[in-house]
C-alpha cells in the first residue's frame, strides 16, 4: 500500500483549524464562533463554526451570509474583553433591526463566541484529533449556567474516539458523570443535542457529535474512478483506491488519494481494512475480480456496497457466490446498491461519480435522496423524508437459485 500526504481541497473543519493556528502563530487575536442551538429553520446546523481574527480574516460560516457580519462585530468585542458571549438571533421576529441584517430563515439561532484562549486551544486540538481518527467522538459545552458559579460559559468535557475523557475545568462530580453518560449515548446514536443538568436545570449543555472522515474504498483503478476520487476529496472523505490488477501505473494516476493498494483479488481480505462506517464502490470492470471481491465484502461490515454495472450482471454475481442464500441474509444484501448511484440520468464519468457520491451520502445520512421540495417536515429534521424505497427479490435466473437480493422494485 502506498499512503501519502496529499494536497488538494481542504474541508471546512480543516480550514477552520488551520486558520485558528495561523492566527496563533502570527500572534494575532482571534475568536471562534459556534452555532450551539437552532430552533426552527436555519441555513446551518449546530456545530457550524467560524474563525474571526482582529485583522478581519475569517474561515468557515455560521449561516448563509446573514449573520456573519454581526458575528464579526461581536467577535471584535469578545477579543477585546476576553469574555465569551452567547448571542441569540431571532429571525422569526417581525423587527426592522432583524430584517435589516438580511435574515429570512424563520428560525432562532444561538451562537457562542469565544476568544482564543487555552480553553479554545483545547477544543481545536480535539477537533484536529477527531479529523485524523476513524471513530466517532463527542464533547459537551456549557452554554448557560445560572446559580452555579463554578461552571463557566464555554467549559467543556471531551470524549475522545478512543473512549478517553477529559475536561478543561473542574465540573461538579455529579454533573460530570451525567454529562459523560450522555456523551457516550451521543457517540452511539450520532445525534447532537442540547440538554440540562443540575437543580432547576441550572446548567445548559450543548453535546456535539464529531464524525470522522468517511472512509471510501474504490475497487478499480480505471479512468472512470478518477472523477469519483475527485468528488470524494471535495467532500473531505478518506479515499483508498484498490487496483486488483496490481498495476504500478495506478500509483501515478491516483497520486492525490490517501492510499493506493496494489493487490490481486485473492489478497483483498488480507490487505484491505473495512469497518462498519466504510463505503465501498466496486468498479473493476472485470467480472471475475468483482466476484472475488464480493466474496470478501459479504463477510465484512461495510456500511455501503455499490456495484457498477447493470442489474442482471449483479444478479449473476450473486448467484455464483459460494454461500447459501440463507447465509447471506438481509443484513448483507441490504447494504448492496446495484446498479450503483442515484437516478440522475447520469451518462458521463463525472455525472456518474456525482450520482454515486450522492447515494453514498444519502445512505450515510439515512435519507432517501429525493428532491427537498417533496420532503415532509423540516429540511434537517428527523421526519420521514419521502415514501420508503421499495425493494423486491431478484431471481438469479442463470443458476436457477432464488437469492433475496434487495434490488429496487418497479
pLDDT at 124 over 50: yes
Q: Is the peptide bond before 339 cis (omega within 30 degrees of 0)?
A: yes
DSSP for 7-74, please give it.
Answer: -S---HHHHHHHHHHHHHHTT--EEEEEEEEEEE--SS-TT-EEEEETTS-EES-SSSSSSHHHHHHH
pLDDT at 162 over 70: yes
Q: Please state the rounded mean pLDDT for residues 115-134.
A: 92
Residue of 399 and 117 predicted with greater confidence: 117
The predicted pLDDT at position 261 comes to 97
pLDDT at 399 over 50: no
pLDDT at 222 over 80: yes
**Distance linking the first and last C-alpha atoms of the chain:** 42
Element (H, E) at 183: helix 173-189
Instruction: Spell out the domain ranges in the chain.
Output: 2-115, 120-210, 215-408
pLDDT at 103 over 80: no
The predicted pLDDT at position 269 comes to 92
**Residues ≥6 apart with Cβ < 8 Å to 290:** 219, 282, 284, 307, 309, 317
> 242-251, 326-335, 388-397: which has the minimum mean pLDDT?
388-397
pLDDT at 93 over 90: no
Q: Please state the rounded mean pLDDT for residues 197-226.
A: 89
Q: Please state the rounded mean pLDDT for residues 262-280.
A: 93
pLDDT at 328 over 80: no
pLDDT at 270 over 90: yes
> What's the CATH number of domain 215-408, 2.60.40.10, 3.30.365.10, 3.40.50.720, 1.10.150.120?
3.40.50.720
The predicted pLDDT at position 387 comes to 35
Q: Please state the rounded mean pLDDT for residues 116-141.
A: 92
Residue 86's SS3 state is strand
Q: Please state the rounded mean pLDDT for residues 303-321.
A: 91
The predicted pLDDT at position 9 comes to 55
The predicted pLDDT at position 196 comes to 87
Amino acid at each position: 500500500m502506498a499512503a501519502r500526504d496529499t494536497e488538494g481541497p481542504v474541508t471546512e473543519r480543516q480550514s477552520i483549524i488551520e486558520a485558528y493556528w495561523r492566527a496563533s502563530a502570527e500572534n494575532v487575536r482571534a475568536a471562534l464562533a459556534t452555532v450551539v442551538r437552532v430552533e426552527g429553520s436555519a441555513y446551518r446546523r449546530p456545530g457550524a463554526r467560524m474563525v474571526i481574527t482582529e485583522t478581519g480574516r475569517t474561515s468557515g460560516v455560521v449561516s448563509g451570509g446573514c449573520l456573519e457580519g454581526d458575528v464579526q462585530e461581536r467577535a471584535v468585542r469578545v477579543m477585546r474583553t476576553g469574555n465569551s458571549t452567547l448571542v441569540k438571533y431571532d429571525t422569526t421576529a417581525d423587527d426592522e433591526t432583524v430584517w435589516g441584517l438580511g435574515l429570512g430563515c424563520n428560525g432562532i439561532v444561538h451562537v457562542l463566541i469565544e476568544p482564543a484562549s487555552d480553553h479554545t486551544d483545547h477544543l481545536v486540538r480535539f477537533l484536529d484529533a477527531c479529523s485524523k481518527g476513524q471513530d466517532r467522538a463527542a464533547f459537551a459545552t456549557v452554554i448557560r449556567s445560572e446559580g452555579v458559579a463554578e461552571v463557566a460559559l464555554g467549559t467543556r468535557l471531551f470524549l475522545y474516539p478512543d473512549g478517553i475523557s477529559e475536561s478543561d475545568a473542574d465540573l461538579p462530580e455529579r454533573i460530570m458523570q451525567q454529562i459523560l453518560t450522555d456523551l457516550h449515548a451521543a457517540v452511539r446514536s450520532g445525534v447532537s443535542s442540547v440538554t440540562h443538568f443540575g437543580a432547576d436545570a441550572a446548567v445548559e449543555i450543548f453535546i456535539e457529535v464529531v464524525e470522522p472522515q468517511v472512509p471510501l474504498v474504490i475497487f478499480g483503478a480505471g479512468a472512470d474512478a478518477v472523477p469519483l476520487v475527485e468528488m470524494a476529496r471535495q467532500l473531505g472523505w478518506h479515499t483508498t483506491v484498490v487496483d486488483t490488477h496490481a498495476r504500478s501505473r495506478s500509483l501515478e494516476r491516483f497520486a492525490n488519494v490517501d492510499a493506493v493498494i496494489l493487490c490481486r483479488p485473492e489478497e483483498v481480505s488480507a490487505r484491505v481494512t473495512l469497518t462498519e462506517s466504510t463505503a465501498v464502490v466496486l468498479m473493476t470492470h472485470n467480472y471475475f475480480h468483482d466476484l472475488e471481491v464480493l466474496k470478501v465484502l459479504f463477510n465484512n461490515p461495510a456500511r455501503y456496497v455499490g456495484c457498477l454495472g447493470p442489474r442482471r450482471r449483479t444478479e449473476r454475481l450473486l448467484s455464483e457466490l459460494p454461500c447459501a442464500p440463507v447465509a447471506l441474509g438481509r443484513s448483507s444484501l441490504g447494504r448492496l446498491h446495484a446498479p450503483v448511484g442515484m437516478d440522475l440520468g447520469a451518462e458521463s464519468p463525472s455525472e456518474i461519480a456525482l450520482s454515486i457520491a450522492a447515494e453514498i451520502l444519502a445512505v450515510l445520512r439515512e435519507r432517501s435522496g429525493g428532491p427537498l421540495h417533496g420532503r415532509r417536515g423540516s429540511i434537517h429534521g428527523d421526519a420521514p423524508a419521502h415514501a420508503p424505497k421499495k425493494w423486491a427479490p431478484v431471481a438469479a435466473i442463470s443458476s436457477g437459485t432464488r437469492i433475496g437480493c434487495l434490488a429496487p422494485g418497479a
